[in-house]
Amino acid sequence: MDTLIDAAALKSRLDDRESGQRTVLLDVRWTLGDPHGHDHYLHGHIPGAVFVDLATELAGPAEPGRGRHPLPPAEQFQECARRWGISDGDAVVAYDDSGNMAAARVWWMLRDAGFGPVQLLDGGLAAWREAGFGLAAGAEQPPAGNVTLSAGAMPAIDAGQAASWSRYGLLLDARAGERYRGEVEPVDPRAGHIPGAVSAPTTGNLQADGRFLGPAELRERFERLGYRSDVPTAVYCGSGVTAAHEIAALEIAGFAAALYPGSFSEWCHDAARDVVTGEAPYGEDVETAAGRSTGSVS
């Protein structure tokens, strides 16, 4: 199944009462610094969509040793998926209102849990509105589903692997360029990036309207950043959320990549791990960069 579905195709699928496969819609509105995703959902969402709370349903409690949004236990995620109404045999479409930066998290997690038919609404809620389709207000309360989920179906790496990844592979940093360079760090205790990582902000995956670039454009982008079929690729971000967006973009390009779930928020909490700053993958003097500290931990 394709990574993306457009608004017209989704509307057609939802209107097809004779389709043998039910589609579950997940609204994953969340952005860093905006805790009001549920309020936005209640004000207006795609009819039938269930709200997914990224902070409590797509992540466990923040821990210095695991990052700000550690992956929840598999049993907990399965319980949430059933509460959203997902059953075995269903299809899932996820969206948000920020270019799928948050929705990609549940896309990756369902894929990792062995659930195959899951897509992102290309352009998110904005594309649905632009197509002239209506919204519903209030909360949706679907009957519980019976989906059975596992874990480990998608490639992932840990901090130990991230430390040596750039020696033989490509490590992409999906955060904004200024955070990669160490010019600003709004939430984590140290500014900069993992030594050897290449800056690849997720915003570069999107067109101005929030839709993903086409496959050819994405292939060109990632090849320019160093992607090669014989070079293993891994992606991290601040807390493992927008890195999933980068993995979706890589998949659209026809490329595979592993996720570092703990990402920089896990990495930088260990003082024994080097953090470097600047434009270059290995940055400036490691000892100088490792001692920098800005912002506060969320």
CB 244 within 8 A of CB 105: yes
Verify that 101 and 174 share a domain, yes or no.
no
Confidence of residue 16 (pLDDT cuts 50, 70, 90): confident
pLDDT (average), residues 243-263: 98
Verify that 164 and 279 share a domain, yes or no.
yes
pLDDT digits (tens, 9 = 90+) for 183-227: 999 999 999 999 999 999 999 999 999 999 999 999 999 999 999
pLDDT digits (tens, 9 = 90+) for 30-80: 998 888 999 999 999 999 999 999 999 999 999 888 999 999 999 999 999
Q: Does the pLDDT value for residue 286 go beyond 70? A: no
What residue type is 39 in one-letter code? D
Looking at residue 145, its pLDDT comes to: 97
Share of the chain above pLDDT 70, in %: 95
Residues 234, 176: Cα–Cα separation, whole Å: 17
Confidence of residue 17 (pLDDT cuts 50, 70, 90): confident
Verify that 232 and 280 share a domain, yes or no.
yes
Residues 225, 219: Cα–Cα separation, whole Å: 10
Boundary-marking domain end, from 130, 151, 183: 130
Q: What is the DSSP letter of 205?
A: G
CB 182 within 8 A of CB 292: yes
Verify that 171 and 279 share a domain, yes or no.
yes
Q: How far apart are the first and last CA of the chain?
A: 36
pLDDT digits (tens, 9 = 90+) for 116-137: 899 999 999 999 999 999 999 9
| Mean pLDDT computed over every residue of the chain | 93
pLDDT top residue among 253 and 283: 253
Boundary-marking domain end, from 111, 130, 149: 130
**Is 138 part of a structural domain of the chain?**
no
Residues 233, 214: Cα–Cα separation, whole Å: 20
Would you name the residues annotated as active-site residues?
237
CATH number of the domain at 271, please: 3.40.250.10
**Is 146 part of a structural domain of the chain?**
no
Looking at residue 79, its pLDDT comes to: 98
Looking at residue 33, its pLDDT comes to: 82
Residues 142, 82: Cα–Cα separation, whole Å: 10
* Bridge partners, residue 51, by sequence: 27
Which range, of 97-106, 130-139, 172-181, 283-292, averages the lowest pLDDT? 283-292
**Is 76 part of a structural domain of the chain?**
yes
Verify that 106 and 190 share a domain, yes or no.
no
**Is 135 part of a structural domain of the chain?**
no
Number of domains the chain contains: 2
Verify that 68 and 163 share a domain, yes or no.
no
pLDDT digits (tens, 9 = 90+) for 77-91: 999 999 999 999 999
Verify that 116 and 199 share a domain, yes or no.
no
**Is 31 part of a structural domain of the chain?**
yes
Confidence of residue 20 (pLDDT cuts 50, 70, 90): confident
Looking at residue 289, its pLDDT comes to: 38
**Is 295 part of a structural domain of the chain?**
no
Can you give the residue range of the structural domain that contains 190?
A: 159-290
Verify that 126 and 169 share a domain, yes or no.
no
**Is 245 part of a structural domain of the chain?**
yes
- Calculate the alpha carbon distances from 122 to 51, 181, 244, 264 in Å: 18, 30, 15, 27
Structure-block tokens of residue 129? 């509105």
Boundary-marking domain end, from 130, 147, 174: 130
Verify that 182 and 124 share a domain, yes or no.
no
Residues 137, 42: Cα–Cα separation, whole Å: 5
Structure-block tokens of residue 281? 């993958």
Verify that 89 and 182 share a domain, yes or no.
no
**Is 147 part of a structural domain of the chain?**
no
Verify that 199 and 237 share a domain, yes or no.
yes
Verify that 98 and 208 share a domain, yes or no.
no
Structure-block tokens of residue 253? 């390009």
